[in-house]
Every structure is written in C-alpha cells, then in structure tokens.
Amino acid sequence: MGIDPVVAFFVLGVVGGRLGSDLKLSSGLYDTLTIYLLLAIGLKGGFELANSDVASLVLPVLVVVAASAVTPVIAYQVLRRMGKLAHPDAASISAHYGSVSVVTYAVGAAFLTREAVGYDGYMSIFLVFLEFPAIIIGVLLARGLKRDTEWRELAREVLCGKAIVLLVGALLIGWLWGREGAQSLVPFFEGLFKGFLALFLLGMGVMAASRLDDLKRVGGFLIAFGVAMPVVSAVGGVLVGWLLGLSVGSTTLLAVLYASASYIAAPAAMRIAIPEANPALSLGASMGITFPFNVVLGIPLYHQMTLYFYKVMS
C-alpha cells in the first residue's frame, strides 16, 4: 500500500466519525497523547542538538523564522482582497496559517522514516521558533500597536502554553543529558512513537469529521484556500531549505512546517487577542481542510517537490 498505515488510522477516524460511530478518544487520553508527542519530538531534537554546533544553528533559525513571516502577510491579503473576509477573521486565519502544527510535523517525520529518508533531528528547533511569530503578526494585522491590546496576557498564553513549555523543556533535557545519559527513555519515546501517533491520528480523524460540517459555513473560497495556501507555503519552505543547504529530508520537513496550520496554540491566542473573530472559520479551514489534506496528500507531494527541485538545481 502507498499510504502510510499511520495515516490510515486518521482516515479510519474520519470514516468512523462520518458514519456516526460512537468512536472517540476521551479528553484525558487525547491530552496524554499530545504531551507524549511533544516530549518525544523535543527529546529527539535535544539529542541531535547535543551532537551539533549550536552556534551554527543561529543563522538558519533566524532565516527560517524571518521567511515564515511572509506567510501570514500573504494569507491576509488573499483573504481580504479575494475572499472579502472581515478584517478580524482574515487576521485570525492568517495567524493560524503562519503558525505550525506539531502533529503534521510528526506525520512528516514518520513519512520520511518509512521512506528511509534521513533528516536532521534539530529540525524540531525550527518547530519551536515557528510556533509564535505568526500569532504576533496576526494580532498586529488585526489591531495594530494599540494600547488596549493585552500583550502581556497574549505573551503568557503563547510562551507558557503547553506546546512551547513541553517542546522547549524536552529539548533542553535531551540536549543536557544526550542520548547516552537518557538511554532509559529512548525505548519509550522513540520505540513507541508511531503507535502513539497512530492513536492520536485516530482521534484527530474523528475530530476532523466533526469539523466537516463547518465547510458549509466557511464556503467554497476557504475550502480552496485551505488547499492552495499550504502548497504555496511549502514551495517557500523548499526554497528556504535549499538556500540554507539542508538535506532533502530536512527540506521536506521544513516545507511540511511551512505548509502546516496551527489548531492548538493559534486558536487559544486568537481567543484572547481577537475575540471578535469567528473561530468556526479558522478551525474549519485549518482542521477541517488543511490538516486532512496535508497528512493524506500534502506531505508526499512536498517530498516530491523537494526531490524535483533539488534534481533541477543540482
């Protein structure tokens, strides 16, 4: 079969959800799986960081973050000019699409492992730094530099949120202890990774199925946007990866990060910063359209894009 069995669990969840099955993951289990994935990804990045020259990663991080700022700006212009969306909604959706999805990254990493394509474990460092710049840009697009913007509360929500705390914390643990010092953790966080990811995707499939009803509200334009925007962003990721001299696998993962859309950190931040925005539009697009597209079709497409580009430029 061409499809990764991990992705097949997501499809199973979607089918079960649309058939009206009572299949679902409890909120406690869902949170546990989320914590596991964040810790596993952070630890792997820390292990790689322990064997890397940290100073050499400063410039790539700055370039990757700076280039990512283009995505929410372009998305906002498209949503306002072509989609005719209200100012707050366009800004909120732009923040979702400029931020990243840790689960999409995990599926991308699993895909590369299955295809026996190597990549640098420190890519999870990019994941950490790409989590929040687009959220700040989204707020600026919506509100500007106004005094009534609760910047302190927004910063606390983003920087102290579960995703950042766990990713950064696990990254530091992996970096300080290294693979040898944390050898007892490796069988759990690496050996069981794909199994836990499959369970998480099963639950995500059920959730995505429930979001399909939101497609009636988001309309045809946002459906097209939810497919086209990640492809455009992935092209930018391929270009940035090539300019930085990353390997094919690492560039594929960077394209996956640029193409992903947040449905954890961004919704929480937008609820505080832009309360007048309609969350059904942003979540309907990011979770109901972009996430399924990326995990089923997008990730293999971005890998082929990377292979083709590197072949042409070689």
For residue 182, pLDDT beyond 50: yes
Distance in angstroms (rounded) separating the CA atoms of residues 220 and 171 = 40
In order of 16, 27, 31, 210, the CA distances from 24 in angstroms are: 9, 9, 13, 11
Contact 262, 99 (CB under 8 A): yes
Mean local confidence (pLDDT), 126-136: 82
Kindly indicate the confidence band of residue 215, based on its pLDDT and cuts at 50, 70 and 90.
low
Euclidean distance between CA atoms 261 and 102, whole angstroms: 9
294, 260 Cβ separation under 8 angstroms: yes
Question: What value does the mean pLDDT take over residues 9-37?
Answer: 87
Segment 91-104 shows an average pLDDT of 91
> 101-119, pLDDT tens digit by residue?
888 999 999 999 999 999 9
Taking residues 128-146, report their average pLDDT: 77
Q: Alpha carbon 226 to chain centroid distance?
A: 14
pLDDT band for position 148 (cuts 50, 70, 90): low
The mean predicted confidence, pLDDT, of the chain is 86
The identity of residue 201, as a single letter, is L
Whole-number pLDDT of residue 250: 96
Does pLDDT of 209 surpass 90?
A: no
CB 23 within 8 A of CB 109: no
pLDDT of residue 157: 64
pLDDT at 2: 58
What is the structure's pLDDT at 1? 47
Q: What are the structural domains of the chain?
A: 5-313 (1.20.1530.20)
Burial 8-19 (b: 16+ CB within 10 A, else e): bbbbbbbebbee
pTM of the complete model:
0.85
